[in-house]
Amino acid sequence: MIWPNRKQGVSPTPAASAETAVAPAARPAAPAAVKAPSVTELSPGDIKTELKVELHQKLLDRINLTALETMTREQVGRDIGEIVSEMLKEMKHALNLAERRQLVEDILDELLGLGPLEPLLKDPNITEIMVNTAFIVFVERAGRIEETRARFADNKHLLRIIGKIVSGMGRRIDESSPMVDARLPDGSRVNAIIPPLAVDGPILSIRKFAKIPIDMDKLVGFGAMPQACAEVLQAVVQGRRNVLISGGTGSGKTTMLNAMSASIGTHERIVTIEDSAELQLQQRHVVRLETRPSNMEGRGEVTQRDLVKNSLRMRPDRIVLGECRSGEAFDMLQAMNTGHDGSMTTIHANTPRDALSRLEQMIGMSGIDISPKSARAQIASAIHVVVQLERLSDGKRRLTSLAEVTGMEGETVLLQEIFRFDRQGIDAQGNVLGELKPTGIRPKFMEYLMARGITLPSHLFDPYRRMDTAA
Ligand SMILES: Nc1ncnc2c1ncn2[C@@H]1O[C@H](COP(=O)(O)OP(=O)(O)O)[C@@H](O)[C@H]1O
Ligand SMILES: [Mg+2]
């Protein structure tokens, strides 16, 4: 039997040997502080997820989780079938036989897979899952962050699920390496951090893999930018200008990088370099590289910088670096300056100007002895266009500035804005009002593009013409 404790509603202590090494910190109180959304506030699709979450939660109270691991799917299926029927009756949910079978199958997947995470992972409306210890689970649904009713039996259970995820990737998590990045088989990105670093218990963050990647048309459709701006970006990529995409965490940098990469020609050889492969380029002539953390003995680490250097020996036409964080900035700029025009990367910064000074700092991290002036000169000649993304207070991700690097004056890199988001206030629902407008400056890259047969109509840069903002 897998529910020996149904009367008491307590899970037994799992076998110590099978457990991950760390004892999770005890959570003193139930998650009373934050109110979960009531079922009536949710759409029909959400209700199905919530029903599963609720059933799952009830099951967790009744069953012996460690016994599960030694049982076959059939055995568990029989037991769960009974208990689910009983619970549905209690909850007064009338389901027909086929629906109930489906539900039992789903719940089995959940119990044998990633537990309470499974319904959230399956719900296509959920893009992000944030587990703040066993009893507090937030999701991002359609751009809004909300708490769900999903919860784990306790922090040990959560830790077991985390262990399952990372061991599937050949990584481990325990007291001696208490944080880890991993990827689910479907490509979703996972970060876990556990005690003693995480004070209250294990923390899990999952950025779900978008099955259908967001392309330029979708970005325009979502209101991230007007059509005119999308056309300019596509021309910039086709015309092989080097691009730096800047923004905060979750502002849509990787998504933009992916969408822009679609404009790279199919005959060009592209090398992508990432810490955790997220990009989904559709071209065939693509080589994907991913870094590797060091092993248990602290050896064997391969950094982005190593990969950028190696990629130069692979005869790439373009290098797409997922995110520039450190010393690889130097090698990336060199690549951009030496014939790999049309390369792209992203950076964590709040304005285009800030992005350039971050780059300068990162050159410093490479350990190369170079004066600030020559570092800036490298940047000024390598980077042509800076795209600034922001997640505004209404949760919407938008392109808020498109700037062009035009050269150096003395020790300063010259930067001019071509488009700028003009904020006009907030409506009653909290939506940010405003639009991306041309500043009236005709970009210098226009001539460069024209010389390569790519023409952009000059009205795109006319500030007096209303732009067609979709959304
Ligand atoms: N313009 C957009 N509208 C709606 N969702 C978006 C948009 N851009 C990105 N997203 C979603 O936002 C999340 C974070 O985007 P991502 O590109 O990974 O951000 P970053 O790389 O800046 O951390 C992803 O789930 C992505 O699908
Ligand atoms: Mg990213």
Q: Which of 212, 161, 203 is nearest to 184 (CA)?
A: 161
pLDDT band of residue 437 (cuts 50, 70, 90) is very high
**CA–CA separation, 343 vs 245, rounded Å?**
11
Domain boundaries, the chain: 39-207, 216-461
Q: Is the pLDDT of residue 422 over 50?
A: yes
**CA–CA separation, 237 vs 450, rounded Å?**
13
Buried-state track 197-229, b at ≥16 Cβ within 10 A, e below 16: ebebbbbbbbbbbbeebbbbeebbebbbbbbbb
Q: Which ligand is nearest the CA of 126, by number?
A: 1
Q: What is the pLDDT of residue 20?
A: 34
Q: What are phi and psi of 179, to 5 degrees?
A: -140, 145
pLDDT band of residue 467 (cuts 50, 70, 90) is low
| Ligand 2 centroid – CA 392 distance (Å) | 17
Compute the average pLDDT of residues 41-66: 69
Q: Which of 452, 445, 368 is nearest to 460 (CA)?
A: 445
Architecture of domain 216-461: 3-Layer(aba) Sandwich (3.40)
Do residues 358 and 347 lie in contact, with contact meaning Cβ atoms separated by under 8 Å?
A: yes
pLDDT band of residue 81 (cuts 50, 70, 90) is confident
For residue 308, give Cα distances in angstroms to 51, 242, 274, 367, 407. 47, 16, 10, 16, 25
Do residues 184 and 165 lie in contact, with contact meaning Cβ atoms separated by under 8 Å?
A: yes
**CA–CA separation, 159 vs 134, rounded Å?**
9
Report the atom number in ligand 1 closest to the C-alpha of 210.
27
**CA–CA separation, 180 vs 178, rounded Å?**
7
**Bond prior to 14 in cis (omega within 30° of 0):** no
| Ligand 2 centroid – CA 43 distance (Å) | 29
pLDDT band of residue 47 (cuts 50, 70, 90) is low
DSSP output for 89-127: HHHT----HHHHHHHHHHHHHHHHTTTTHHHHHH-TTEE
What are 179-238's pLDDT values in tens digits? 998 888 888 989 999 999 999 999 999 999 877 889 999 999 999 999 999 999 999 999
Q: Which ligand is nearest the CA of 397, by number?
A: 1
Ligand 1 shell residues, CB under 6 Å? 127-128, 143, 207, 210, 214, 219, 222, 224, 247, 249-255, 397
Q: Give Rg (Cα) of the chain.
A: 26
- CATH among 3.40.50.970, 3.30.930.10, 3.30.450.90, 1.10.760.10 for 39-207: 3.30.450.90
Q: What is the pLDDT of residue 109?
A: 74
What are 107-147's pLDDT values in tens digits? 787 777 888 898 899 888 899 999 999 999 999 987 788 99
Give the residue, by CA position, lying nearest to ligand 1 atom 12.
252
Compute the average pLDDT of residues 155-165: 90
More confident residue, 33 or 328: 328
